Structure 1
Amino acid sequence: MLHRVRRLFGIYAAYHLPQDAPCPRCARLRLLPGFVAAGARALPDALRWARHRDPAARARVKQLLDLSGPAPVELDGTLFRARNNAPPPEGAAVTLVMPVYNALALTREALRRVAAHTEIPWRIVIVDDASPDPDVLPALRDWAGRQAGAELIELPENLGFVGAVTAGMQAARAWPGDPVVLLNTDAFLPEGWAARLLRPIWEDARVGSVTPLSNDAELGSVPEPGRAREIAPEVADAVDRYAATLNGAAQRAAPAGVGFCMALSPAALAEVPDFDPAFAPGYGEEVDWCQKTAQKGFTHLYVPDLFVAHMGGQSFGSEAKRALIARNSARITRRYPRFDAEVHGFLRRDPLVTARLALGLAEVEQTRRGPLPVYLAHSMGGGAEVDLERRIAGDLDRIGAAFVIRVGGVFRFTLELHSRRPDGSTGVTSGGTASAPLIAQLLAPVTARQILYACGVGDPDPVTLPDLLLSLRTPGDALEVLVHDYFPLSPTPSLLEAGETWKGLPDPQTASARHATRRPDGAGVPLSRWRADWGRLVYAADRVTCFSEASARLMAQAYAGARIEVHPHALHADVPAIPRPDGPPVIGVLGSLAPHKGAGVVQRLSRALTPRDPGLVLLGEIDPAYRLHRPARHHGRYAVEELPALVDRYGITCWFIPSVWPETFSFTTHEALASGLPVMVFDLGAQGDAVRAAMARGAPGALLPLAAVEDTDAILDAANRLSGAGA
């Protein structure tokens, strides 16, 4: 027992210790009181799992012990509080420094936006870095000549970004009281940007720099840090209009800002007035400046209420950029050995994740090609998760994004924005919260949604989930219930009674305690209340999608008149036809076995085997509370593509799918049938329907009566008959 406790605590500590913890042993000891307290809170659910094998109770234990995986970052509800609309301080002004190297079209638009969108008094120092394009310098002279407050510096030779910025910052010292904003020619300022970017500097003398969020701003990128994405200017402007409604006081400190659009405070510039020429021609210079000023007590912030489009690096070609990044990154590491760890720590706790989700969803609203799919799903894996992944992949192709509200994790809700990266992979931005209202606040920019219930098993208060989903449905939104299990019918999603026995759909008036639950405050929820609350969701749904006729019959029995449709799953992978091996009968048990999946049946069967009986091999895993007895063999996990080789290796002559609950759809049964070998199942649920249909087409199989759950001889006799029939 002691070694199990140690192992459990080791897993807990592994999830919660920072990778850069200076003393892991001391850190683990500090975690111990919290772990013990969490264990005490989890004890009732652990006992329910031990007694009833309730998967919802198991998920709750994992949630309370924070063992559902690395913890997501907690979302920050202060982002949606009222923003500070105080006017700028008297005499507030700003000086912009813009280095220019070719890119005339971008430069013209960037300058137009400076003039049109800056709402406080401003000046600009434009530095032409000896642009070889003959049209650039005349255009800059013309614009500066017509624009009050514009100064043009014409460098006789190319100095690179660092040299051009240094020349501009030296000229900006003519106005020592102004913040200086470094602005790339590919940074497109939105309307009313200045107060939002400069307010932290006006309000706190120890703020050294401020950077907005952007589609391409390293730590400040949306929706994923460090991943640049292209964005249309009009989309960026729309995202910024939404950003302007957020609470700018939810600003967050970071190890460094990003120089594409970065405000530098007068106080910090007085301490470190220039970028280090060692970083010429560019890349890493703003990191060096931020680290130097941080050593002098200044902080560097990102603001969530300003979004500035960054239209792509223009200063260097890709080869030159990679070389400069490598060289200057090495210099940063030598000068500031803790910088990489600071960046890692920032990303691990990602204090900007709420803003990334909020602005990412605001961008989705501008770019989606249909209603945004909003799923409620669990955190337990399995077939429902495989189906969810396939659906999301299709959503990304059709719509461009998907949103998942996941229950059963460390937080009550883990919110995930799935989007397509430029390289075609899937990006996920996620954060956790216990607040249902926060979900609605995040989704507020999205005006058309498709609400889908996938699975709510594992939620601590699941009777409230139907109303949560209904509250997220706006007029005209589609609503669909996916029946991956029978959670809409009972708090016990397998519908089984004590002892893992199937006695039919429980009646709300006579149901056993197995089909009742309690809310977190201790209030009881009988099955009648459960069905009434879930019935609101089921009857409101445009479609209740079942994956087998068996599950459709049960749903219709409980919710007469619901709009139920049957759409069977496709298999995850093609299963080739497998010839029966020569040799004595061998039963192959396919799939991972929980109690409701027949773990007890297979344990009893293995214990009953004699040398005269068929062999038994499990391809999959078995619940740790059960075990196989020799001579039964346990292969472990398998891939569908491996089935022919595994059949040949173990001499499997027939399959046994031992589930004792009425499956909503049985992937393993369909995989077994596709192999062409005989299949045995108990006569219930989707597994029974599938084998019955196959037998009607002439396939070998056996429908075992439920009484055979305890009758190992009946199972072995059926295996002998089927193996002989397939010889």
Structure 2
Amino acid sequence: MRAGPKVIRNRLGDIIGCVDSISFAQGRVRVEGWSRDQRLYLLMKGGDLPVSDRFARGDVPTGSDLAEPGFLIDAPWDGNALRLACETAGRVRVIDLPCPGLWQRRVRMPIAALQLVWLGLRNAPDVIAAVGRGDEAAHARMRDRLGLTTALTARTRDLPEDLFATSPVTANPGPAATIIVPIYNAFDLLPELLSRLSRHTDVPGRLLLVEDASPDDRVRPFLCDWIKGPEAARLPMQVELLENPENLGFIGSVNRAFAKALEHPDPVILLNSDAMVPAGWAARLLAPLSDMDKVATVTPMSNDAEIFSVPRIVCRSDLAKDQVDALDAVAATLSPPLARADVPTGVGFCMAINRGFLEKLPGFDTAFGKGYGEEVDWCQKARALGGRHIGLASLFVEHRGGASFGSAAKQALVARNNATVARRYPSYDAEVQDFIRADPLSAPRLALGIAWALTLKDTPLPVYLGHSLGGGAEHYLARRVQGDLARYGAVVVVRVGGDRRWRVELHTPDEVLGAATGSTDTLRGLFAGPGARRLIYSCGVGDGDPVGLPAALLDLVQPGRDAIEILFHDYFPVSPSYTLLDKDGHYRGVPHPGTEDAAHATSRPDGTPVSLDQWRAEWGRLVAAAETLVVFSRASRDIVAQAYPQAAERLRLIPHDDTHAVPRIPVPATGKPGIGVLGDIGFQKGAEVVAKLGGVLNPERQSLTIIGRVDPAYAPPDHVTVHGRYALDDLPRLAAAYGIDRWFIPSIWPETFSYTTREAIATGLPVFCFDLGGQAEGVATADNGHLLPLVLADDPHALAQALIRLPKSPEKQTLDSKAAE
């Protein structure tokens, strides 16, 4: 069940928050939303849960005193009523949260079954490919549609396949224009501002510098000298300095220049003295005024320009020296139709203005004092006259905001003038929030965000290739991403296995921006800009064209500049059967080229067959290019070395040391053996083994419980409990509830490392697993570990006896098939 939204109001009826969504699944409840309250608690029958996961929300209306109003609750749910308590300054309000009723829970299973049948019929080709041919890409798509994907997700949108222009974009010679630059103090910025204007302005017309009686006595003499010097002479336009006899403020200075500009028939560009323009900027900025109907203003993208900000919308990001040029080089490659969008307002730091609208509205409203909000007011008046405002992503201009006003002064002005805007235009704030949610500039914003990340530091940017299947590899990747964010400030993750081949995520410390595309050319375009990267292959299982994946990844890096690292979370670079299981589902060692087993062959999307020899040749290119290959267990090191002996010297064994803390579990006093299977299990994780084991157990004398989820194709008998999703902190309660006194890790492939095994060992209960792979390495060295011969996977009766009859000696020992009889 999903519910929401539910508005949160204070005692005066004002909206101070919202529960955006509530969902119930697999014995857990997830509540998302925002609130300006200082403290939140989820009230449950089993006890109150303080909400500690708070974060910033860019879509929350302005004026909140709480820097991080967003909240997320993910907790076990026992089926009882839920309430949210909101507390501020000692006042507590309690909100009832909608929960599924008993009748809803009773009908959910048959409805889900019907939905599953319908999904199977609607996606018959993927079902056939997944079940009949073992196609991992089809499996991944089906898992995604069934909601079984647990990978770290972003707010994902479609990335247009024609995002980048197929040929260089050149703006036509722009019309003449009047550029207005109001100047007040900010002396240290003037040399770079004017130098960039001199070098990069590409249209004729006039440059009006308005000096507003700056207290800094260096400013006016500098400007008087500059207009007579070589940089001013290099400009393709006339230069005039307007010297205010007294301080008029920003609005007074701009209005004086507007009156001067209206003496000519040209459009106007308003440019702050802290705006740094790139090459060829003016013609691009002016182009939409003539290319599109009824355009009143055009605003470029920037690092600090409210809804035009990159990488995060409405958030400022400082740039390194000359980083603006690298970002604009990418902006200039964007396809013009996709780089333009209608926006609620322009932003005056760099804004082209249609002269026709300026004639009707010849000045900013002086009610806004020294500035801030005046361009919003002007833009809303222009909209009332039929004018459109355009955001232009094909131009990037740096804004070093706040150089003229201190932060305290700015905040006071913003608060006062925002109130004026809200009073005059009651729907404006909602329009801005709607724009932020829809973000029609999200695709170019992501492209520019990646360019920002690539040029953020001198060190290479981490770029991960991951899948969409969840599991241990995803947990590891999430931790690596968090660590790299602290070091680099940004990380990019490219995922395969969704409905579109590529899902690209830009991770910043506060947000994840995501978009998906089926075009490899578009993916390549995202990384075509300057800057070094470190490409880290984490896992490519689920890709629609896995034999072509190494070549696609190699296209993203430049030899001699970029580095490659391969993480062996599975054996996909070794065989299309990433678990190394043969077609009959058995592991018989490392497959070698020439094998005829169909599991180790595949085909291209067009049906072209691919042998293991061809597979190793293509993946061998990536292995050969990698400077580091990381394995997580001795077993995986030996397997990779057998497949790629030429890479043996570059293999680095780095066992995971970041497993989660798991509470110890006392042995329940039930006297009835209770076998627990921990984690989500598919075929290779032993789902069929568990189903057959359940079939031979006597539920009156033994119990079998899966703490996790199971592939529906291998559903166990009805007396076997499938709990669903869980949190590690829940394990003691779940073990007691289900009478679990031992764990069974049923995986039938040589895992490279098993988080689940380590977590089971940490509980202190006996742990059984088959004698292979990384899972056996963990169990073999644990005092509560017990190894089982792999042959028992095909003998459920003997397996049941081995699991039920715990060894009498506390010493570690291996149970062979004879002892299990």
What interval of TM-score do these two structures reach, taking the shorter chain for normalisation?
A: 0.7 to 0.9
Measure, in 1, the Cα distance between the counterparts of 2:540 and 2:239: 60
Asked if the contact 1:67/1:410 (under 8 Å) is kept, the reply is no
Query: 95, 99, 103: which one pairs with 2:178?
Result: 95
Percent same amino acid among aligned pairs? Answer: 47
Measure, in 2, the Cα distance between the counterparts of 1:85 and 1:356: 20
**Worse overlay, 504-513 or 213-222:** 504-513
Specify the alignment match of 1:265 in structure 2.
Answer: 354
The amino acid that maps onto 1:467 is A
Specify the alignment match of 2:400 in structure 1.
Answer: 311
1:707 aligned onto 2:777: no
Specify the alignment match of 1:188 in structure 2.
Answer: 276
Query: 566, 578, 592: which one pairs with 2:653?
Result: 566
The 1:52/1:358 distance shift into structure 2, 3 A limit, reads: closer
1:275 aligned onto 2:364: yes
Measure, in 1, the Cα distance between the counterparts of 2:630 and 2:340: 44
Deviations along 1:329-387, whole A, 9 cap, x unmatched? 56656666665565456545544445434443444444324223332221222222222
Deviations along 1:54-112, whole A, 9 cap, x unmatched? 543221346799997765232353534434546635xx433233334443433565345
Query: 193, 216, 234: which one pairs with 1:110?
Result: 193
TM-score, normalization: structure 1?
0.82
3-state SS in 2 of match to 1:656: strand
Specify the alignment match of 1:14 in structure 2.
Answer: none
Asked if the contact 1:257/1:301 (under 8 Å) is kept, the reply is yes
- Aligned-pair distance for 1:231? 1.6
Measure, in 1, the Cα distance between the counterparts of 2:294 and 2:118: 40
Measure, in 2, the Cα distance between the counterparts of 1:553 and 1:58: 28
Q: Give the structure with the larger helix fraction.
A: 1
Deviations along 1:187-245, whole A, 9 cap, x unmatched? 12334432232233355563322222211122222223222101234322444455456
3-state SS in 1 of match to 2:539: coil
Asked if the contact 2:455/2:531 (under 8 Å) is kept, the reply is no
Asked if the contact 1:100/1:185 (under 8 Å) is kept, the reply is yes
The 1:408/1:345 distance shift into structure 2, 3 A limit, reads: farther
The 1:305/1:700 distance shift into structure 2, 3 A limit, reads: closer
Asked if the contact 2:708/2:724 (under 8 Å) is kept, the reply is yes
Query: 735, 741, 748: which one pairs with 1:660?
Result: 748
Specify the alignment match of 1:149 in structure 2.
Answer: 239
Specify the alignment match of 1:521 in structure 2.
Answer: 606
Equivalent residue runs for 1:574-589 within 5 Å = 574-575=661-662, 578-584=665-671, 585-589=673-677
Specify the alignment match of 1:49 in structure 2.
Answer: 130
Measure, in 2, the Cα distance between the counterparts of 1:281 and 1:721: 83
Specify the alignment match of 1:478 in structure 2.
Answer: 563
The amino acid that maps onto 1:471 is D
Asked if the contact 2:136/2:543 (under 8 Å) is kept, the reply is no
3-state SS in 2 of match to 1:409: coil
The 1:704/1:245 distance shift into structure 2, 3 A limit, reads: closer
Asked if the contact 1:98/1:127 (under 8 Å) is kept, the reply is yes
The 1:365/1:45 distance shift into structure 2, 3 A limit, reads: closer
Equivalent residue runs for 1:116-515 within 5 Å = 117-127=200-210, 149-152=239-242, 154=244, 156=246, 161-175=250-264, 177-204=265-292, 206-240=294-328, 243=331, 251-255=339-343, 256-277=345-366, 279-314=368-403, 317-318=406-407, 321-322=410-411, 325=414, 329=418, 339=428, 343=432, 346-347=435-436, 350-419=439-508, 425-476=509-560, 477-497=562-582, 500-506=585-591, 508-515=593-600
The 1:523/1:570 distance shift into structure 2, 3 A limit, reads: same
Measure, in 1, the Cα distance between the counterparts of 2:147 and 2:708: 26
The 1:311/1:540 distance shift into structure 2, 3 A limit, reads: closer
Unaligned runs of 5+ in 1: 1-10, 12-18, 20-35, 420-424
Asked if the contact 2:453/2:491 (under 8 Å) is kept, the reply is no
Asked if the contact 2:130/2:138 (under 8 Å) is kept, the reply is yes
The amino acid that maps onto 2:633 is S
- Aligned-pair distance for 1:459? 1.5
1:687 aligned onto 2:775: yes
The 1:693/1:219 distance shift into structure 2, 3 A limit, reads: same
TM-score, normalization: structure 2?
0.73
**Worse overlay, 454-463 or 389-398:** 389-398
The 1:205/1:88 distance shift into structure 2, 3 A limit, reads: farther
- Aligned-pair distance for 1:668? 0.8
Specify the alignment match of 2:703 in structure 1.
Answer: 615
Specify the alignment match of 1:545 in structure 2.
Answer: 630
Deviations along 1:278-298, whole A, 9 cap, x unmatched? 555543332343344345444
Measure, in 2, the Cα distance between the counterparts of 1:168 and 1:588: 77
Measure, in 2, the Cα distance between the counterparts of 1:334 and 1:607: 70
The 1:591/1:344 distance shift into structure 2, 3 A limit, reads: same
- Aligned-pair distance for 1:417? 3.0
3-state SS in 1 of match to 2:193: helix
The amino acid that maps onto 2:180 is V
Deviations along 1:495-519, whole A, 9 cap, x unmatched? 3345644344445544443443332
- Aligned-pair distance for 1:474? 1.8
The 1:117/1:707 distance shift into structure 2, 3 A limit, reads: closer
- Aligned-pair distance for 1:455? 1.4
3-state SS in 1 of match to 2:676: strand
3-state SS in 2 of match to 1:376: strand
Asked if the contact 1:94/1:179 (under 8 Å) is kept, the reply is yes
- Aligned-pair distance for 1:310? 0.7
**Worse overlay, 103-112 or 665-674:** 103-112
Measure, in 1, the Cα distance between the counterparts of 2:643 and 2:657: 27
- Aligned-pair distance for 1:681? 0.4
The amino acid that maps onto 1:719 is L
The amino acid that maps onto 1:452 is I
The amino acid that maps onto 1:573 is H
**Worse overlay, 530-539 or 113-122:** 113-122
Measure, in 2, the Cα distance between the counterparts of 1:67 and 1:301: 40
Measure, in 1, the Cα distance between the counterparts of 2:559 and 2:463: 15
- Aligned-pair distance for 1:679? 1.0
3-state SS in 1 of match to 2:158: coil
Unaligned runs of 5+ in 2: 1-24, 26-58, 60-116, 233-237, 812-821
The 1:39/1:67 distance shift into structure 2, 3 A limit, reads: farther
Asked if the contact 1:376/1:404 (under 8 Å) is kept, the reply is yes
The amino acid that maps onto 2:522 is L
The 1:518/1:646 distance shift into structure 2, 3 A limit, reads: same
Asked if the contact 2:341/2:392 (under 8 Å) is kept, the reply is no
The amino acid that maps onto 1:367 is L
Measure, in 2, the Cα distance between the counterparts of 1:542 and 1:105: 45
The 1:487/1:348 distance shift into structure 2, 3 A limit, reads: farther
